[in-house]
Structure 1
Amino acid sequence: MSKYTIRNLEETDYKLGYMDCINELTEPVNVAEKDFINRLKFLRNKQDYHSIVVVDDQSGLIVGCGTLFLEYKFIRGLVTKGHIEDVVVKEDKRGSGIGTLIINHLISIAKEKNCYKISLVCNRDNVKFYKKCGFQEKEVEMVKYT
C-alpha cells in the first residue's frame, strides 16, 4: 500500500502532475508552467489561500489536491468563514482514503484559522462522501457565469 505526504502546493508541482490532477475536476485546460508559477506566487502572498497536494511517496507524483480560502465577515462579531474548493483525487486512486485525508487536512487549517464554519459546493454524486466527513446539506448555491 502506498504512503502519502500532504503538503502545500509548490512551484515544482507543475512537473509532478498538479495540472493533470486538477484537470480531472472540470474541463481540462492547458496552463503553461510559467503561468502556473506566476499564479502560485500571487496566491502565496495571500494569507487567506491554502492550496495543498497529496503526493504518492512511491511515485513522487501528485494524486490529490484541495484548497481552503478564507472569507472575513462583518457578521457574528467579525468571524472568518472557510471555503473548500477544488478537491480532487486522481481517478485511479479514488476510494483509497485520499479524499478524506485532503478534507481533514483542510478542516484542520480552517480550525487553526478560527473559522466559525466551513462550506463547500459539490456535485450531487459527492454528497454522501462529504456527509461522511461531517458536512451537512444546507441552503442552495446560485451561480451566474460571466
Structure 2
Amino acid sequence: MIFREATRQDLPAVLALLADEDEVVDPASIVVDGASERAFASIAVDTRNEMLVLTDGSDGPDGVVLGCLQLTYIPGLGQNGRERALVEAVRVRPDRRGEGLGAALMRLAVARARERGCGLVQLTSNKRRAAAHRFYERLGFARSHEGFKLSLTD
C-alpha cells in the first residue's frame, strides 16, 4: 500500500469513491467537470489543504486508488493558537473495507496533523452513517460536539 498526496491523475478515482459509498464506481465512468477541476486545483496549491490517497501499489505509486481523505488545517486562537486539522471526504472502496485500510489512512492523517503541530483533529459524519461512527470511535475519536450545517445551495 502506498499513501501519498493526490495528483490530477487521481481525480476521477477520488470522485468515484465520493460518488457512492456502497458500490464500487469505475473511475473511467466519471466525467470530471469544471467545478471539480477548479476545486482540486485549489486544494493542490493551498498549503492548508491536502487530498491524500491510498493506492494498492500496482504499477508503482500510481496504482489503483483504494481510499482517500482531505485534510484542512485551520488556524485559530483556541488550542493555544495551534491549528486544528479537519478531516473530510474519508472513503475506502466498498470491496476493500474490513482490511484496515481506513484505519491506516486515518492514522496517517493524525500523524500528519501531529507533525504540523495541530492541537486536535476533528471531523463530522452524517448521522445516518452508524458504521462510520463506530469506526471513528474505535480510532479514539469522541462525540464531543453536536454539529450544525446550513446548505447554501438548493
TM interval, short-chain normalised: 0.7 to 0.9
Paired amino acid for 1:42: S
TM-score by length of structure 1 reads 0.84
Query: Could you say what secondary structure the match of 1:115 adopts?
Result: coil
Which residue pairs with 2:148 in the alignment? 142
Paired amino acid for 2:144: K
2:20 maps to 1:14:
no
Post-superposition Cα deviations, 1:51-71, rounded to whole Å, max 9, x if no partner, equal 100111237211100111011
Task: Write 1 or 2 for the structure with the bigger share of strand.
Answer: 1
Which residue pairs with 1:132 in the alignment? 138
CA change 1:33–1:143 in 2 (3 A) is closer
Which residue pairs with 1:89 in the alignment? 92
Structure 2 CA distance, aligned partners of 1:76 and 1:107?
16
Structure 2 CA distance, aligned partners of 1:70 and 1:33?
26
- How big is the shift at 1:74? 1.8
2:121 maps to 1:118:
yes
Once structures 1 and 2 are overlaid, which stretch shifts more, 82-91 or 17-26? 17-26
CA change 1:7–1:142 in 2 (3 A) is same
Q: Which structure 1 segments of 5+ residues have no match?
A: none
Map of 1:13-32 to 2, 5 A cutoff? Answer: 13-14=10-11, 17-25=13-21, 31-32=31-32
Structure 1 CA distance, aligned partners of 2:8 and 2:103?
24
Paired amino acid for 1:137: R
CA change 1:106–1:76 in 2 (3 A) is closer
Calculate percent identity across the aligned residue pairs. 18
- How big is the shift at 1:134? 1.4
Work out whether residues 3 and 54 of structure 2, in 8 Å CA contact, stay in contact via their aligned partners in 1. yes
Which residue pairs with 1:102 in the alignment? 105
Structure 2 CA distance, aligned partners of 1:12 and 1:36?
13
- How big is the shift at 1:25? 4.2
Task: Determine which structure has greater relative contact order: mean sequence separation of CA pairs < 8 Å that are 6+ residues apart, divided by chain length.
Answer: 1
